[in-house]
Amino acid sequence: MDFFDWRPTSDHNVEILNETVDLYRYYGLTLQAQFLYECVEDTIERIIQEELDYLEKHDRMRLFINRYFPLPDTDIDLLIKSLDQNNGRLSKKIKQKEFDEFTDEEIAKIEDTFSKIF
């Protein structure tokens, strides 16, 4: 309020008496620009690298599964996603519901390979 010349109005509002456009014309966005820079920097230096690393591992796991267990792409994606979400292990529910054709030895081989790749 130090930059405004004002007076109260009869309806309990204020009337600004001086020009104030210069106070708003060139507002400071330094903090917002710094935040945006940090976000872009983090994306370039960390997030993209992590994503590329994950995709490379995902492709290696996909090749392994295709080599030993021919499955449709959707099943391979489900298998990798399930392993990823459950710390490298297939839950009993997923085993019974989606991959009941695999033996315990095959599941163990898949889980072991996943843990080595990821």
pLDDT at position 27, please?
Answer: 79
pLDDT at position 1, please?
Answer: 67
**21 within a domain of the structure (yes/no):** no
Using CA atoms, how far residue 29 sits from 23, 38, 104, 114, in Å, is: 13, 14, 60, 47
Q: From the centroid of its chain, how far is CA 112?
A: 26
Torsion sign across C-alpha atoms 15, 18, 23, 24: positive
How many domains does the chain divide into? 1
pLDDT at position 21, please?
Answer: 81
Backbone angles phi, psi at 10, to 5 degrees: -65, -25
Neighbours of 76 (CB within 10 A): 19
**66 within a domain of the structure (yes/no):** yes
Residue 82 belongs to domain spanning? 28-117
pLDDT at position 46, please?
Answer: 97
In order along its 118 residues, the chain shows pLDDT tens digits of: 678 899 999 999 998 889 888 777 787 899 999 999 999 999 999 999 999 999 999 999 999 999 998 889 999 999 999 999 999 999 889 888 888 889 999 999 999 999 999 9
